[in-house]
Amino acid sequence: MRCGVVVFPGSNCDHDVYHVLKHVLDQEVRFLWHDEPRLHGSELVVLPGGWSYGDYLRGGALAALSPVMGAVREHAERGGLVLGICNGFQVLTEAKLLPGALRPNRGQRFECRDVYLRVERADTPFTREYAAGQVLRMPIAHGEGNYEHFPYELDRLERDRLVALRYVAPDGALADEWNVNGSARAIAGLANAGGNVFGLMPHPERCAEEVLGNSDGLALFAGAVRGAAQLAGAGR
Amino acid sequence: MKARVTVYPRKEILDPQGKAIQSALARVGFRSVREVRAGKSFELDLGVDDAQQAGDLLAAMCEKLLANTVVEDYEIELLAADAS
């Protein structure tokens, strides 16, 4: 099973993702340079956090048009697994591989802290190792994570069950004061209709080992690796 | 032909930057200000002379890159040649 971690100029969580896939989950991983329209056989592609292209214009806007994204789009359209974390989630929305957009946080501040997330869907490759309704703790670090879309589109997301993770209180209840950035419908993570493209603002790679004091994020990568291996085995 | 494109957050959408600027204005005495919307402005030298073609190009640029129409509106303004 081959994994690829895309590196844009300004990516800064690429090595963390590489570490989790390579050293914690023992997978074959390579970095994929933004300027090359090739995935080198990667079956799981991760767009990491950071400030791609300095986040000029809008977070993820310029990265969404980079050569590697053409290959990522083809991979996604073939049903291949794509995970976008933080800036990677912004890139996926700007590339229209996921619906909506991420705006500056409601509180006007960069938020860097642990948040609580409720798993709304446990039937995507990325959330299959969790239980629906399970509450996770994960760190966030972003200034623009406020999920927005047109109201009728938000209704459609709910109807199509695309919302995979929501910001909640530690007991799992929805509560505005725990919606850290003001996201519409407290959306923290989304899947596409096929479940093969997944984006989230929190950083699972920063909580994927006991030594870090929190391993709630590991199952997300473990699920993705298993899902990608199954797809590869099925000769997708 | 030169043009200016202005991009603003849609009216229905919270604009934290505009809010922060509004409260800073109030702090320095401009308390009557009711709303500030913060946007971006782009000046382009398009390399074409036809106004119709320029308008089409600008609309395509806005849809593809300059604005994210999920959350932003844009306005296009062709600038008279002698304004440059």
Chain B residues lying within 8 Å of A103, measured CB to CB: 9, 13-14, 16, 71
CATH of domain B2-83: 3.30.1280.10
The boundaries of the domain holding residue A11 are: 2-233
Count of the separate structural domains present in chain A: 1
Confidence category of residue A234, pLDDT binned at 50, 70, 90? confident
CATH label of the domain that carries residue A102: 3.40.50.880
The residues of A carrying an active-site annotation are: 86, 203, 205
Q: What's the pLDDT tens digit per position in A54-91?
A: 999 999 999 999 999 999 999 999 999 999 999 999 99
Quick one: three-class SS letters along B23-80?
Answer: HHHHHCCCCCCCCCCCCEEEEEECCCCCHHHHHHHHHHHHHHHHCCCCCEEEEEEEEC
Q: Are strands B2-9 and B72-79 parallel, antiparallel or unpaired?
A: antiparallel
Chain A residues lying within 8 Å of B20, measured CB to CB: 108
pLDDT for the residue B84: 47
Confidence category of residue A93, pLDDT binned at 50, 70, 90? very high
Confidence category of residue A236, pLDDT binned at 50, 70, 90? low
Buried b (16+ CB within 10 A) or exposed e, B32-67: eeeebeebeebebebeeeeeeebeebbeebbeeebb
Of all residues in chain A, the percent with pLDDT exceeding 70 is 99
| Beta bridge partners of residue A140, listed in sequence order | A113
User: Which site among A56, A91, A148, A149 would you substitute to test the B interface, given the most B Cβ atoms closer than 10 Å to its Cβ?
Assistant: A148
Block means of pLDDT (10 residues each) for chain B, length 84 residues? 96 91 96 95 96 96 97 94 55
Residue A148 has pLDDT above 70, yes or no: yes
Least CB-CB distance to B65: which of A61, A108, A148? A61
For chain B, the residues whose C-beta falls within 8 A of a C-beta of chain A are 9, 13-14, 16-17, 19-20, 40, 65-66, 68, 70-71
* Chain A residue whose CA is closest to B41: A57
Token pair for residue A195? 């479940």
Calculate how close chain B gets to A62, using CA atoms only, in Å. 8
Q: Is the pTM of this model over 0.90?
A: yes
Question: For chain B, which residues make up each domain, given as ranges?
Answer: 2-83
Contact B78, B56 (CB under 8 A): no
DSSP A152: H
